[in-house]
Amino acid sequence: GQQVMQIPQYQHVQEGEDFTTYCNSSTTLSNIQWYKQRPGGHPVFLIQLVKSGEVKKQKRLTFQFGEAKKNSSLHITATQTTDVGTYFCAGSSNDYKLSFGAGTTVTVRA
């Protein structure tokens, strides 16, 4: 079945630094979504990418969908303590159901 792999599993970042988390699929995706889960909270939808090569920005967050629609990335610039949490990607290859990655858990050193 479809698998979505996410790396790294953990990311320890110095406040003010940038980092990137990556998402890779074994199959071509029709779309990809990103979610953020704060510690003790539930996943919250951030964004959806649909087009090959699509890039979307939300303030300091930049989301990219690969040309082959099999990978995606989330890049955060100038990390802040409010960025702490787990970031999940979720992809669909059949517009039927989403498969979630295992998530990247981000901690920030002040």
Supply the minimum distance, in Å, between the C-beta of residue 95 and other proteins: 4
Closer by beta carbon to other proteins, 16 or else 41: 41
The interface with other proteins within residues 40-59 (CB under 8 A) comprises 41-45, 48, 50
Q: Which of 9, 52, 58, 107 binds other proteins (CB under 8 A)?
A: 9
96 lies in the site for other proteins, by CB under 8 A: yes
What contacts 37, CB < 8 A, 6 or more positions away?
Answer: 43, 44, 85, 86, 87, 88, 103
